[in-house]
A and B are shown apart, each in its own frame.
Chain A
Amino acid sequence: MKTGRRRFTVTIGLGSCGVAAGAEGVAEAFRAEARGRGLAVAVKGTGCIGICHREVLAEVSAEGGRPVLYGDLTPARVRRIAEEHLAGGVPVGEWLLAGEGEDISSLPYFAKQRRIVLGKCGLIDPEEIGDYIGRGGYAALSSVLDGASPDDVIRAVTESGLRGRGGAGFPTGRKWRIARDAPGGEKYLICNADEGDPGAFMDRSVLESDPHAVLEGMAIAGYAVGASRGIIYVRAEYPLAVKRLGIAVRQAAARRLLGRRIMGGRFDFSVSIMHGAGAFVCGEETALIKSIQGERGMPRLRPPFPPSRGLWGRPTCINNVETLASVPWIVSRGAAAYASIGTPGSRGTKVFALAGKIARGGLVEVPMGTTLGEIIFDIGGGSATGLPVKAAQIGGPSGGCLPAALFDTPVDYESLQKSGAIMGSGGLIVLDDSSCMVDIARYFLAFTQAESCGKCTFCRIGTKRMLEILERITAGKGRMEDLDLLEELAGKIKIASLCGLGQTAPNPVLTTLRFFRGEYEAHIRDRRCPARKCKALFAYSISPGACVGCGACVRVCPTKAITGEPKKPHRLDPLQCTRCGLCVEACRFGAITAG
């Protein structure tokens, strides 16, 4: 078809990943091309489309035609798309993820996904409330205010089987019931958006891509528990999410979907935004409350639990972003529809941030009960490096490393708990043979040790001692007794810590000890790091047969450890070498190997 005069809409993924990959430059390039060629092109923004490994993403649709999806875009590539597609009418096949008439949901990446929380992400403009309403947004809140009692809402959420998606998995309906029944006039509803796990970006993406779903969930929750004030506690490190939340709150208030007398009825619910100041422990409910009160975020003994006694001593219901974003769907489609997805103990879907050495990384949402293997291989396409997938790290610093042999484990709360890992909030990092499991354990312990608030002795000092042992082992100075000592300390920290941070901090160490003990033993007994990651335990050398003497390594070596004449095999002095790896990066002949 060669009309040339058709009107086009270009929708660009402007989530953080997209922006980081250069989406704003791509959007500007589309505008400039359209201006320069006199084409009728409307350039719009949307949130996270989910296919993070192919950012920058853009959907191009001709008026009256079917959309196509492009990936891996750069401003330079936009020029060709403008010429051949927007002006010439023929899509550029090279960067197409889905062509005309091809359903994006049939791509292998989407085939096993079930998008409920992410249902509108990547489809709507998150800065435009009309887009959300146009796709059925705020209908759930409207139906609730139009005749359902708070008890009806709590019953529906209870029957749906929804459990807290922040990690602990407490039944949401039960939490709401306790908050509802708690005596006391003023109550609070808090959205926990303090996503602090390294390797997790589910909540950030939802806030950036569909903020109104969270606000609608909050209003419904507020109505159910009897709260008239909602607070979103969001990480200050998420500037885009903070900005879009602010826009969403203002737009919703302007349409009387938040504030006094919502939709002209008798329910008042206002939402304010508090910027978290960067403390991982504030993901814990009582620490988060302390932080809102302007104190150091240190957890306190429970009970009383926040639904009975929380912020400023008032009953306070705290729900995670993903939990709240699931609520409008449950109310609209019914508890039974939600409960029909997933497993008996874990209903519904879970969002995962799939990253690491994975071919197709991004934001995925699957029915509970999907196996790790299905997520990693069917959705994620397996290893990105050609090296075999060795393990999956699930649940971040509170979770564990499961070996490939256990990839038939279904992702549901019980099965993961049984494996020694936890569901966690949704971080899922794939590790290949180049990852050292002792190093991974040390990495997470370094994180939890630094983030321990210091209140409980076992968490404060125990994690420090565990970290020292792990540092010793990765430095090649470990002793076999260290492994028993690690297990002993781990057990004590778990039972003698007040909050989830300490209780779960040993998990990465315990799971790697359980499934990869051989790697620990190799570090200690053989003074060898099988993955060639721990610098004290391997050395680089140049294989004379492969080296052509190009000198690339000599130029990058910061310690002048490599010498040799041009066009003759070079030599590497292991005593000068600091194992920085720059030469390996620079060598185009694979001549430098670790051994």
Chain B
Amino acid sequence: MKKTPSRRAAAADRRFRALLSSLRGQKGALIPLLQGAQEIYGYLPVGAMRRIARALRLSPSEVFGVATFYGQFRLKPVGRNIVTVCHGTACHVAGAERISEALGRALGVSPGETTGDGAFTLREAACLGCCSLSPVVMVNATVHGKLTAASVPGILKRYR
């Protein structure tokens, strides 16, 4: 049977409840819980953060404070594909800014934003650690290296 959106949401909720009860009351569980919630929902919905706060007997503001402190956490839903431009030192000197600009032009969004059709979210990373392939862009989990600004549209096309 095909999964309808509401069935998917219910399945996500079940997973989240299981996650909460597995770590409830444990010390140091906040960050693993936020990471788990983000894995389930793709981002951190406000409701999930409130429930985490209750489970750990923390105030919602403490949970929100931690969620906004760390770069890993997203407070908005993301697109189907995540495009991450590396801005590490090696990529920077190899022209990462040109790649970023080209991606911005091709997608019509700024870093942190998602395209209107929900296909792409554009992000920037401080360093992906593939310095010998600079400049690099990661789409989902696949790294594309030794790029030029001109090669950007061709890469995006593979994910449309």
Contact = CB atoms under 8 A, between A and B. Distances in A.
Given A199-B88, A296-B69, A396-B89, A580 B131 contact: no
B118 interface: no
A585 to B, nearest CB: 5
Interface string B101-133: 110010000000000000000000111111111
A277 B132 contact: no
Given A355-B131, A556-B150, A585-B148, A427 B27 contact: no
A199 B32 CA distance: 27
Interface in B123-155: 125-134, 136, 141, 143, 145, 148-150
B149 A277 contact: no
A199 B127 contact: yes
B18 to A, nearest CB: 19
B65 A296 contact: yes
Contact of B32 (A195, A237, A275, A558): A275
Contacts of B29: 294
Contacts of A295: 30, 66
A482 interface: no
B150 A585 contact: yes
B129 A356 contact: no
A197 B127 contact: yes
A20 B143 contact: yes
Contact of A431 (B93, B98, B141): B93
Contacts of B95: 581
Interface residues of B, number: 45
A540 interface: no
A30 B31 CA distance: 42
B133 A21 contact: yes
A538 interface: no
Contacts of A239: 141
Given A52-B131, A200-B127, A353-B131, A429 B93 contact: yes
Nearest to B95: A581
Interface in A253-278: 274-275, 277-278
A591 B70 CA distance: 46
Contact of A356 (B28, B69, B90, B133): B90
A275 B130 CA distance: 20
A55 B146 CA distance: 12
A312 B31 contact: no
A293 B145 contact: no
Contact of A279 (B65, B69, B102, B134): B69
A198 B132 contact: no
B71 interface: yes
A312 B98 CA distance: 46
A52 B127 contact: no
Nearest to B89: A199
A435 interface: yes
Nearest to B86: A198
A52 B73 CA distance: 31
Interface in B81-96: 87-90, 92-95
Given A277-B72, A297-B70, A429 B149 contact: no
Given A21-B133, A277-B35, A355-B132, A198 B88 contact: yes
A345 B88 CA distance: 31
B93 A21 contact: no
Contacts of A429: 89-90, 93, 131
A204 B35 CA distance: 21
A443 B88 CA distance: 10
B132 A52 contact: yes
B146 to A, nearest CB: 9
B31 A361 contact: no
Given A55-B132, A198-B88, A558-B105, 10 more contacts: A16-B129, A16-B130, A199-B131, A277-B72, A278-B70, A278-B72, A556-B150, A581-B98, A582-B149, A585-B148
14 contacts: A20-B136, A199-B90, A204-B129, A236-B35, A237-B125, A293-B27, A294-B27, A294-B56, A295-B66, A353-B131, A355-B90, A355-B132, A355-B134, A585-B150
The 8 lowest CB-CB distance pairs between A and B, nearest first, are A355-B131, A294-B30, A199-B89, A278-B71, A52-B132, A20-B143, A277-B70, A201-B129
Interface of A: 16-17, 19-21, 52-53, 55, 195-201, 204, 236-239, 274-275, 277-280, 291-297, 312, 353, 355-357, 361-362, 393, 396, 427, 429, 431, 434-435, 440, 443, 447, 451, 453, 556, 558, 580-582, 585-586
Interface of B: 27-32, 34-35, 56, 65-66, 69-73, 87-90, 92-95, 98, 101-102, 105, 125-134, 136, 141, 143, 145, 148-150
